[in-house]
Amino acid sequence: MSHTLHTPRPALIAGLLLGAACLWAPAAHAGSAYAQVGLPGIGLGYAQALSDVVTLRGDFSTLGSRTKNGSQEGINYEGKVKLSRWGLFADYFPVGNGFRLTGGATVNDMSVKLRSNVVAGTSLSVGDTSVTADGTERFNVDIKFPKVTPYIGIGWGHMDKEPGWGFVGDVGVSFGRAKVSIDTNVVERSGGAITQADVDKETQQLKDGVGKIRVLPQATLGVSYRY
């Protein structure tokens, strides 16, 4: 099986927090807008210095939706991947240059949907049982990553003192474990030849595979403009 790899309310909250930071921060600490690209996609954000060593940032990154087809065990799949996230971060500059430590949280819209297309006359295998498909079977898989995840990382940038362009980069991870759900009629369509135990075994194999993914990486490069 191919594994390819609305939150307006959290977005509004993040916007209000950033707005409050801009009002609270001393006038001497300027803000900057930035754009970045990498994983998790193309992003835009705003950073506001709260002091000489602390900056508050918010951004949005997305890869949009992608589709990819694959097959396994006689099942053809169309996979659809969504990957978008809002982030709210605090940066700490421990050594007085652009190097920073970052902590925060992300609000995610990240999922994988696998929709089956079983071809009549092919061999369909689920768990320990194989049958000849009649084409009406379905075995759909949904993989959903957590809505809110903590984030830690390191990076460079967002500490320029003068107006103008700058370089920014981030490497870090969000912590969270994906959930797997199955929608299938193979027990009924096979007349009981495929049992619920077969379905449970196939489901557990999927969960064991996805369960290994416990972190969502971020690696981005970009540019900033300080006002």
With a CB cutoff of 8 Å and minimum separation 6, the contacts of 116 are 75, 76, 77, 137, 138, 139, 140
Among residues of the chain, what percentage have pLDDT more than 90?
A: 57
Has residue 29 got a pLDDT over 80?
Answer: no
To which H or E segment does residue 207 belong? helix 196-210
In a domain, residue 67? The reply is: yes
Indicate the pLDDT class of residue 15, thresholds 50, 70 and 90: low
pLDDT the model gives residue 61: 96
pLDDT at 118: 86
Of 133, 129, 138, whose CA–CA distance to 193 is shortest?
A: 129
Which of 6-15, 58-67, 191-200 shows the lowest per-residue confidence on average (mean pLDDT)? 6-15
- Check whether 167 has a pLDDT greater than 60: yes
Q: What's the pLDDT at 87? A: 96
Does 2 map to a domain?
Answer: no
Is 127 part of any domain?
Answer: yes
Position 185 pLDDT exceeds 50 = yes
| Helix, strand, coil share (%) of the chain residues, nearest 5 | 15, 55, 30
Q: What is the 3-state secondary structure (H, E, C) of 19-39?
A: HHHHHHCCCCCCEEEEEEEEE
Mean pLDDT value across residues 151-170: 93
Determine, yes or no, domain membership for 1. Answer: no
Q: Is residue 218 part of a domain?
A: yes
pTM: 0.77
pLDDT digits (tens, 9 = 90+) for 56-105: 999 999 998 888 888 765 578 889 999 999 999 999 999 989 999 999 99
Whether residue 4 lies inside any domain: the answer is: no
According to the model, what pLDDT value does residue 222 have?
A: 98
The pLDDT tens digits of the residues spanning 142-158 come to 999 999 999 999 999 99
C-alpha–C-alpha distance, residues 176 and 213, integer Å: 8
Say how many domains are in the chain.
Answer: 1
Mean pLDDT is lowest, of 6-10, 17-21, 112-116, 128-132, for 6-10
Residue 206 covered by a domain: yes
Token match 């995610």: residue?
108
CATH code of residue 200: 2.40.160
Is residue 172 situated within a structural domain? yes
Whether pLDDT at 24 is above 60? no
Could you list the residue range(s) of the whole structural domain that residue 83 is in? 9-226
